[in-house]
Amino acid sequence: MRIAIYPGSFDPPTFGHLDIVKRATTLFDKVIVAVGNNTSKGGFLSVTEREEALRAATSGMATVEIASFNGLLVEYCRERGAEFIVRGLRAVTDFDTEFQMSITNRQLEPGIDTVLLMTKWEFGFISSTLVREVAQLGGDLTKFVPEEVLPVIQMVLKNRAR
Ligand code: PNS
């Protein structure tokens, strides 16, 4: 059984993330999409809201599980029996960070390999940072995030406006 973990902040999940999840399901028997619970980062959506949004957007994908993790990613991979980490690459600018992360993770745990998937070109410009900005300024998000993610964002914005 080839298990992969696709870790990330997913704040919020975008079409780019969903594309990587879909393609990872064709490569692995099981894909665990894991929200990193990094308490030092504030966050737009809570970890639970990100999980909820991811669960809604991947509801039709039988081999996908949504989860969250604390601490080291390689420890979580060991716990879950995953030998692969999946990450998406949008542009050359992502490569440096991803390369560093993959080498660091491999130093920590040589039994785990990172698989980098190039994003579809039409999603190459989407970033969660910009999506958060557009959301907070009331812009239209339909070109950036899956429709299942929209209600979660709308609910958060509504609660904040109160
Ligand atoms: O979507 P992001 O913000 O690029 O995701 C970053 C994430 C969550 C994958 C990364 O911060 C991570 O793996 N955090 C867990 C802590 C850890 O293992 N750090 C060493 C990895 S090099």
- What's the predicted TM-score (pTM) here? 0.96
| pLDDT at residue number 91 | 85
Domain boundaries, the chain: 3-161
Query: Higher confidence at residue 161 or residue 18?
Result: 18
Q: Which is the closest atom of ligand 1 to the Cα of 11?
A: 1
| pLDDT at residue number 128 | 94
Spelled out in words, what is the top-level CATH class assigned to the domain 3-161?
alpha beta
Cα of first residue to Cα of last residue in the chain, in angstroms, is: 48
What is the distance in A from the centroid of ligand 1 to the CA of 35?
9
Q: Which of 9, 50, 87, 128 is catalytic?
A: 128
Query: Higher confidence at residue 157 or residue 160?
Result: 157
| Lowest-confidence segment of 35-39, 61-65, 88-92, 96-100 by average pLDDT | 35-39
Percent of the chain exceeding pLDDT 70 equals 98
Residue nearest to atom 9 of ligand 1 (CA): 8
| pLDDT at residue number 88 | 97
Task: Give tens-digit pLDDT for 53-90.
Answer: 999 999 999 999 999 999 999 999 999 999 999 999 99
Percent of the chain exceeding pLDDT 90 equals 91
Task: Give tens-digit pLDDT for 110-142.
Answer: 999 999 999 999 999 999 999 999 999 999 999
- Reported confidence tier of residue 42, pLDDT bands at 50, 70, 90: confident
* Residue in the block written with tokens 């698989």: 115
Q: Which residues' Cβ are closer than 6 Å to ligand 1?
A: 7-9, 36, 38, 72-73, 101, 104-105
How far from 142 is each of 8, 14, 31, 35, CA to CA, in Å?
21, 10, 26, 22
pLDDT higher than 90, residue 24 = yes
| pLDDT at residue number 161 | 83
CA–CA distance, 140 with 162 (Å, rounded to integer): 21
pLDDT higher than 70, residue 95 = yes
CA–CA distance, 21 with 27 (Å, rounded to integer): 10
